[in-house]
Amino acid sequence: MAKRSAPEVNAGSMADIAFLLLIFFLVTTTIETDSGISRKLPPWQPEEVEPPVIKQRNIFTVLVNSNNQLLVEDEEMELSELKEAAVEFLDNGAGTGDEACSFCQGAKDPNSSVNPQKAIISLVNNRGTEYGTYIAVQNELVAAYNQLRDREAQRMYGMTFTQMEKNYNDPNYNGNKDVLKEKIDVITNMIPQKLSEAEPTS
């Protein structure tokens, strides 16, 4: 008896099936990841705690009203000027003795902050403030901190702070991460992000 070969299965429609699946996944794919401004909230304190006494000169108040207008240190200000004003405040470095700031390049105004470690930015917004404005203000203040940190990191380690953080979070970075972490810690200790948010006024 002649050996009969098995009939060949027609695979011509396989491509159609695969295309169908491919198009489905093409449509449902979202490759981009979310990004945003990360913050840490203060822990909840049920009873009223006496706030620590902070010298007025070390506080930089930013008020945002319900018409999205800014009042910075009792003066009206445009959003575009906020970053510069915040940098000026943080970098003032008028302290002497224990509070002296070795790296500040500011004007050493006796009515402004003594040291970036002592300086606090206080942000108060109204319940009617738009979220977009709030984010813009947050963004400018974070930008002010980053600008100072970049400057100091560049001076001390020849690399900007943002680049250092980027390298640290990069899993493919082939430098020494422990050394990098130490450097990042030094910079964050020099210029800590002290951004306080009060409960909104109504």
Partner 1 sequence: MSKFKKKKSGDLPAISTASLPDIVFMLLFFFMVATVMRQNTLMVQNKLPFADQVEKLDKKDLIMYIYAGKPSKRYQAQYGTEARIQLNDKFASVEEVQQFIYAERESKREELIPYLTTALKVDEETNMGLVSDIKQELRKAEALKINYTTVVGDAQQNVE
Give residues in contact with partner 1 (CB under 8 A): 11-12, 14-15, 18-19, 21-22, 25-26, 28-31, 33-44, 68, 79-80, 125-136, 138-140, 142-143, 146, 199-200, 202
Contact call for residues 89 and 141 (beta carbons, < 8 A): no
Contact call for residues 63 and 70 (beta carbons, < 8 A): yes
Contact call for residues 148 and 91 (beta carbons, < 8 A): yes
State which residue, 63 or 114, has the beta carbon closest to partner 1: 63
Cβ of residue 123: shortest distance to partner 1, in angstroms? Answer: 11
Burial annotation 87-122 (CB, 10 A radius, 16+ → b, else e): bbbbbbbbbeeeeebeebebeeeeebbbbbbbbbbe
State which residue, 115 or 147, has the beta carbon closest to partner 1: 147
State which residue, 62 or 101, has the beta carbon closest to partner 1: 62
Cβ of residue 128: shortest distance to partner 1, in angstroms? Answer: 5
State which residue, 128 or 175, has the beta carbon closest to partner 1: 128
**What amino acid occupies position 118?**
K
